[in-house]
A and B are shown apart, each in its own frame.
Chain A
Amino acid sequence: QVQLQESGPGLLKPAQTLSLTCSVSGGSVNSGNYYWAWIRQVPGKGLEWIGYIFHSGSAYYNPSLQSRASLSVDTSKNQLSLKLRSVTVADTAVYYCARDKGQLLFDYWGQGTLVTVSS
């Protein structure tokens, strides 16, 4: 059973960089069969795809976040990472990592981590 677990600071100030890690167990991020995605959800609102990354390091981003987001993968630790620069209060959300089994089909998700941006 694949399990994903997000971790990182829960509180940031505006203009700081959000840095989250997703630890994967029960599966390998080095698998050529899957992409690994980040998705966020503003509290009480809908879902927004941030981007995804392949084990090779090839990444694709939501155009609305492309200038600020950066994804990476550490195959030795079986982890994914998300960095989002210059955060504002609008970036306050629950951030999820998820496995993409192809064509943006997310079959396994982490439990999510709330990141609050506040001065």
Chain B
Amino acid sequence: DIQMTQSPSTLSVSVGDRVTITCQASQDIGNYLNWYQQKQGKAPKLLIYDASHLERGVPSRFSGSGSGTDFSFTISDLQPEDIGTYYCQQYDNVPMCTFGQGTTLE
């Protein structure tokens, strides 16, 4: 199985911060990586697909980069509504996918 390691697990943030989360794959996954946001008690929401492409309707303060084994996700100007948990997801070995353990912004 491909393992995904996110860091940090938790991050203390303030409005206006530039926030970066990293996700490392246990093997080369190309750009087959997505990012989701999950707010408390809600289903996850797709933000970024194929490592760096912004899903339609998602604010431009969210961005992603990376390829191979190392990926990052950035919020350029943190807003109060961005509080939640963020997950990376690899899909290199379709039809199987795995998620990272999550990064909680608090």
Contacts and interface: CB of A to CB of B under 8 A. Distances in A.
A25 interface: no
Interface string B4-40: 0000000000000000000000000000101010000
Contact of A104 (B44, B97, B100, B102): B97
Nearest to A64: B1
Contacts of A105: 34, 46, 49, 91
A52 B97 CA distance: 11
Given A104-B91, A105-B34, A105-B49, A49 B97 contact: yes
Nearest to A59: B95
A103 B91 contact: yes
Nearest to B95: A60
A62 B91 CA distance: 12
Interface in A79-119: 96, 98, 103-107, 109-112
Interface size class of A (residues with CB under 8 A): 20 to 34
B52 to A, nearest CB: 14
Nearest to B55: A107
Contact of B102 (A46, A49, A63): A46
B43 A104 contact: no
Given A60-B96, A104-B95, A105-B34, 7 more contacts: A45-B101, A46-B101, A49-B98, A49-B99, A103-B91, A105-B91, A109-B43
